[in-house]
Structure 1
Amino acid sequence: MTTASESLTPAISSARPIQFRKVLSGLLSHSVLILGAAFILLPFIWMLLTSVRSPDEIFEGSLWPWPRNFYGAEHYAAALQQVPMLGFMLNGVIVCAGILIMQLLVAIPAAYALAKLRFPGRGLLFALVVAGLAIPIQVPALPLYMGLAFTGLLNTYFAMMFPFFLSVFAIFLLRQSFKTFPDEIIEAARLDGMSEMEIVWRVVVPSARPAIAAFSIFSIVAHWNDLYWPLIVINDTALAPPPLGMMFFADAEVGTNYGALMAGATIVTAPLVLTFLALRRRFIQGITMTGIK
């Protein structure tokens, strides 16, 4: 006759390999993630360290990452004084904010209509939205430039923002988010006498904040780093956004003061990092929860 402890021994012994495999799998997956994060962060870490190294250390190509002589004050002062770096960043804020506001004002009603309203041609319109995702800015660049030149709007903030007011990616992302919103709540709001626009902005949008935050990060990063279109429509240094301003800075420095160039690149990159850190939870929620239906 077996005791209770004897009967539990095989179960315990069989559970140990399962737990060991789970621990090993977790260690392997986390190791891969850590290596991937290190590979992605290494250029940024090297940029930050180069911005505080002395010129001799930069050119000697030492693999030792920590600087022997700290030159951060000189390099950052050069980046801020020799060119209007803060002005470039202010231009970037104006351009990114203007583009994002217009994108949301256009995309939110359009996404709601495609997700919740029934009308002829809705499927065709959504197919056109999806097809629009495959069209890069380089395709309509020439007619857009000619139109802006004809109207005398080149070399303005509007010229940098106008081609991006309509974002098919925003419509697609927000449509997927709006589809998860209960139809019963919308019907109840209609019975209460709310118009469709009131339903959009007062009922549906508050529930889609994670998706809006996720798209906002995508939009800010894309247009903060955009060099192609500003390089075409802007030739005034006072209107240059950060990437174009960094190119002016490189020309002014004749490409020799790499410490100052890395300091300027660090200054330009810092707002993107802070924006992502501030919205990271909303960003993760928006990416993981969008498209459940």
Structure 2
Amino acid sequence: MLIQVVEVSPRDGLQNEPEILSTDRKVELIQRCVDAGARRVEAVSFVRADRVPQMADAEAVMAAVPRRDDVSYIGLVLNRRGLDRAIAAGVDEVNCVVVATETFSQRNQGASVNEMVQAWLDIAKAARAAGLRTSVTVAAAFGCPFEGEVSPKVVGDLTRRLADGEPDEIALADTIGVGVPVQVRNLVAAVTAAAPGVPLRAHFHDTRNTAIANALAAVEAGVTVLDASVGGIGGCPFAPSATGNVATEDLTYALHRSGYATGLEPRKLVETATWVGVELGKSRLPAALGRAGWFPGDLDPQG
């Protein structure tokens, strides 16, 4: 069975790093990820440069990325202005993030949950008319740094409203890395009931070392698309000491050893993680595979 891994290091990874890479280096990161087998890449976000300076060169990055028929580039958009920029820049897909809790939504996006739902519905309609694939992410679905626990009912009710935008995919995000497998199963069930037939994607941060377990639980619950970031780069400004998304190479190891295919090449992923660590001035990244190595021996499977 194939599990698709969406490589998010060029966007969600880099935007939370203090070091700002040049456009050329961002494009090289994307090229390396594609060379390692990534076929969906969250490459950029079209947001205000004063809020997220790491993403200020989104148009320049999209103008230089390697174009291939089998590679799809995703741009994050939060409003119609961002969508217009994304369409002009030539992205293949757009993703909109709607936070599950009111306080986090106001702190992170400067808008209420209702306002973001309406923004998503507008984005989805216009993006679909432009021929773009659309996805919507429910952020802080597993827990909020300001309001605490988030119930499956809240996530299910929000998903039901988001489904009116007819997304091609709905993603559940453990934005601050608090989730555990039982939550994964409960949330997947709630979202499946709220939006039957819509493919699900999962986005896990490894803040408390539960991301791999959560990813495997999601796959067992029927999720076939997972987000990951090479080296585990990134983090969350609202989660102190948070690591980034689950490391692509570590997730690949867990999936391959569990009998799933990904189409990714672990050795190239490790090489990319080492490279980006140097570029970011980091002596050590959260990912483990580059230090521990594959098992058994030097086996480096492809597929």
Indicate the TM-score class for this superposition, using the shorter chain for normalisation: under 0.3
Bigger Rg, structure 1 or 2: 1
Q: Which has the higher strand share?
A: 2
TM-score (norm 2): 0.23
Q: Which has the higher helix share?
A: 1
TM-score (norm 1): 0.23
